[in-house]
């Protein structure tokens, strides 16, 4: 599903963001990516999104080497990915329904497909009744649920979550994690970068810890392992 083979990234200041990373994430896994700020988690995520290129090594996703993917093919590759960020990134001038539908329009889905699929994913995240609301009328947790709906509406094989609970209170954060867990249980591979110790410790999923660009720990049913 996802494989890093000897992947390193050196930025212009000669600092290794990642150094000789080797790992495999199997189809359907739920993986937490943890470590102190500046450890290399963001570079890892950006490499999966093809926003940053490795200095050396190869990255395999869905049995395809994406390392040297041409620029014109990157949008098609990203259709296999759902992405959720800490800051939601909703379009403020579009309502809930339109924000989710936008993700389908980008890939050329028909109006009929959109009318059928959007209500289904809004029900999945518990916001079917707020489809006419605008982002500024929603709580932070509700906005993140819309972000989740938008991320999964095109049935991605992989969901990448970069600090998705960072702006949420603990109770709302756990509600969001329950939804992400449901998405994972339905077969979507989840890779989540986080500093949320309580969430990682309570869920006991696979934990990959990165420090100074190196994997220092890779544990099934792992714990966060750092003091916040």
**Every domain of the chain and the residues it spans:** 91-155
The answer to whether residue 135 scores a pLDDT higher than 90 is yes
Q: How many helices (H) and strands (E) does the chain have?
A: 7, 10
Q: What pTM, to 2 d.p., does this model score?
A: 0.93
Distance CA 209, CA 190 (A): 16
* 50-98 confidence digits (pLDDT tens): 999 999 999 999 999 999 899 999 999 999 999 998 888 899 999 999 9
pLDDT in tens, 13-63: 788 899 999 999 999 999 999 999 889 999 999 999 999 999 999 999 999
Q: Given a cut of 90, is residue 224 above it in pLDDT?
A: yes
**Class of residue 13 by CB neighbours under 10 A (exposed 0-12, middle 13-18, buried 19+):** exposed
């Amino acid at each position: 599903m996802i494989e890093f083979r000897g992947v390193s990234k050196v930025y212009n200041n000669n600092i290794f963001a990642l150094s000789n990373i080797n790992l495999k994430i199997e189809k359907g896994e739920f993986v937490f990516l943890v470590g102190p700020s500046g450890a290399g988690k963001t570079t890892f995520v950006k490499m999966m999104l093809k926003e940053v290129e490795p200095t050396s090594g190869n990255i395999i996703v869905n049995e395809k080497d994406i390392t040297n993917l041409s620029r014109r093919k990157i949008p098609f590759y990203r259709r296999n990915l759902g992405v959720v960020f800490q800051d939601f990134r909703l379009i403020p001038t579009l309502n809930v329904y339109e924000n989710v539908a936008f993700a389908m329009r980008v890939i050329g889905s028909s109006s009929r497909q959109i009318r059928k699929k959007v209500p289904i994913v809004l029900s999945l995240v518990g916001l079917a009744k707020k489809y006419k609301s605008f982002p500024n009328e929603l709580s932070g947790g509700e906005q993140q649920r819309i972000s989740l709906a938008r991320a999964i509406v095109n049935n991605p094989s992989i969901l990448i979550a970069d600090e998705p609970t960072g702006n949420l209170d603990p109770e709302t954060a756990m509600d969001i994690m329950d939804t992400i867990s449901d998405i994972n249980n339905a077969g979507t591979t989840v890779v989540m970068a986080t500093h949320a110790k309580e969430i990682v410790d309570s869920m006991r999923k696979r934990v990959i810890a990165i420090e100074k660009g190196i994997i220092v720990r890779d544990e099934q049913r792992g714990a966060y392992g750092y003091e916040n």
